[in-house]
Amino acid sequence: MKMVIFEKWFINSARHAEKVIGRAEKLLQLVGVKEDQKYLEVGCGVGAVCKYVATRYGCDVTGVDVDPAQIAEAQESCRGIPNVSFQKADATGLPFPDRNFDIVLSFGTTHHIPNWLDALGEIRRIMKPEGHFIYYDLVYTELLAKLGRSLSHNYGIVTMPELNTFTRMNNLSTIHTSKKNSLIWYDYEAVYKSA
């Protein structure tokens, strides 16, 4: 699901990009990024984190987003950086071979995907053995998830039990998690490693 205009304005702001890059850097430190690794960002928006990773770490960086306008802006902002590329793609059908990426990052994307478990399945499919998945998004209590799902089928409403079941069934070990409470949901971040 594409973002509405107000949300795009907020997400594409320089202040938000700085905040997200800071969070990404903190979590990337837990992974031990190496220059020759292949990195994918699912839901890359205008490519701020991709640009940072490409220039800071020298990884082979790819960013995907469902919104062609976001991809066009990302391509423009990274013009001249040879180790970063962008393409339009749906997270539930990623156009990459199995076991292709060392690091996959998804920040604030799954709540836009009604079938978010399919997107996570695709992320797991394209991760190399010993690869890392860096995740940040909203996670709801089971009660609020039930209410939200009864009102709308357009959003990805993630709960901790569902996320924990997914990681367990897909042989993802937890390197780091942090959960910050708000009134309606949790801000949840994690670093997982594939078997």
Judge contact between 91 and 43, C-beta under 8 A.
yes
The percent of the chain in helix, strand and coil, each rounded to the nearest 5, is 40, 30, 30
134-166 tens-digit pLDDT: 999 999 988 888 888 888 778 899 999 999 999
| pLDDT for the residue 171 | 97
Residue 146, H or E segment: helix 142-151
Specify the pTM.
Answer: 0.92
Q: Which fold has domain 5-194?
A: Rossmann fold (3.40.50)
| pLDDT for the residue 7 | 65
User: What residues contact 92, with CB distance under 8 A and at least 6 apart?
Assistant: 113, 115, 118, 119, 122
- Over the range 138-153, which residues count as b (16 or more CB within 10 Å of their CB) and which as e? bbbeeeebeeeeeeee
Report the helix count and the strand count for the chain, using DSSP H and E.
7, 7
Average pLDDT estimate for 162-185: 93
Query: Scanning the structure block, which residue is given the tokens 């069934």?
Result: 169
Distance (Å, whole) CA 166 – CA 23:
23
Distance (Å, whole) CA 81 – CA 30:
25
Average pLDDT estimate for 29-52: 97
The residues spanned by each domain of the chain are: 5-194
